[in-house]
A and B are shown apart, each in its own frame.
Chain A
């Protein structure tokens, strides 16, 4: 019978693991916000088609990188 007795006294993940998770979470959030803000600003700028896609993609990667970096730093401070 599988009884999870060991799970109450488990060792948490290491600091580097937490920082990686924080970076991934921040990257996701930054990507989402970059898609929204970058998409609308590019549309307002008047870009369509291929240029729009390039611009939005660039903004998403930029926002993801920024958010992920700061989220990783915050997670590293906290743990």
Chain B
């Protein structure tokens, strides 16, 4: 668009552009005393300058149509790549910040539950004071991954999680289910610590299953039975 305006401007002002350019050219030639330039200026005047300017203005527009299409396609594809890359970057940053700043993420739930378990005096009595927590043991001996799964109960998102704690004397398994309460805060549906060795007692840190939003008659019993079955089947 700007190039077109420039061209039109050039065409309309050709008459008064011509003498000034010619004069400037002659002046420059006289100043530098370049024989070639003076010869050029004297031979065909300002027309050469005018024509060359016209050529540079026009030459970008009179390429073959195939080349133009090729160039435009290239630019469009690179533009698409850039836009896609920026979108991917935005999604990445969004995911990272959501993971960092929301209390819904499994890692945050794990950290909070582990803090509560470690600070509980009954658990400290049962398994010994310096308590550390870890997730499932992977193939390479690292235990960072905490087993969790999210599901919906009565239309509200819940998360069930299981991890292990180890104290000075004993090991235990922590089972929890968490949900977001009506006020928007994270709350536990239950939070149990089951000892892995002899007494096999279950320490109940929190049990809110009686206050389920719309309690079903078989809900508590069946989930308890399932839990017991799970802890039995996963003997080490």
Interface residue B223 (Cβ < 8 Å from any Cβ of A):
yes
Contact B153 A57 (CB under 8 A): no
Contact A60 B151 (CB under 8 A): no
Size of the B side of the interface (Cβ < 8 Å), in residues, is: 29
Instruction: Please judge, given known A-B contacts A4-B160, A32-B88, A60-B82, whether A50 and B149 are in contact too, CB under 8 Å.
Output: no
Contact B160 A31 (CB under 8 A): no
Interface residue B108 (Cβ < 8 Å from any Cβ of A):
no
Chain A: interface residue count, which band? 20 to 34
Contact B147 A57 (CB under 8 A): no
Instruction: Please judge, given known A-B contacts A1-B153, A1-B222, whether A54 and B89 are in contact too, CB under 8 Å.
Output: no
Instruction: Identify which of B23-31, B49-57, B72-80 touches chain A.
Output: B72-80
Contact A1 B230 (CB under 8 A): no
Of B89, B147, B152, the contact of A28 (CB 8 Å cutoff): B89
Return the CB mask of A45-56 against B: 1 if under 8 Å, else 0.
Answer: 000001001101
Q: How far is the CA of A28 from the CA of B74 in the complex (A)?
A: 21
Interface residue B85 (Cβ < 8 Å from any Cβ of A):
yes
Instruction: Please judge, given known A-B contacts A8-B147, A31-B89, A32-B88, whether A3 and B226 are in contact too, CB under 8 Å.
Output: yes
Contact A4 B151 (CB under 8 A): yes
Contact B226 A57 (CB under 8 A): no
Complex: chain B residue closest to A34, CB-CB: B85
Contact B82 A5 (CB under 8 A): no
Complex: chain B residue closest to A54, CB-CB: B78
| Dominant secondary structure at the B interface | helix
B residues less than 8 Å from A58 (CB atoms): 78
Q: How far is the CA of A57 from the CA of B77 in the complex (A)?
A: 8
Query: What 13 new A-B contacts, CB under 8 Å, besides A3-B226, A50-B71, A54-B78?
Result: A2-B151, A3-B222, A4-B151, A5-B230, A7-B149, A8-B149, A8-B234, A50-B75, A54-B75, A56-B78, A57-B81, A60-B81, A60-B85
Interface residues of B (CB under 8 A from A): 71, 74-75, 77-79, 81-82, 85-86, 88-89, 92, 140, 147, 149, 151-153, 160, 162, 216, 218-219, 222-223, 226, 230, 234
Question: 14 A–B contact pairs at CB < 8 A?
Answer: A1-B153, A2-B151, A4-B149, A4-B160, A5-B226, A8-B149, A31-B85, A31-B89, A32-B89, A50-B75, A57-B79, A58-B78, A60-B85, A64-B85
Interface residues of A (CB under 8 A from B): 1-5, 7-8, 28-29, 31-32, 34-35, 50, 53-54, 56-58, 60-61, 64, 78
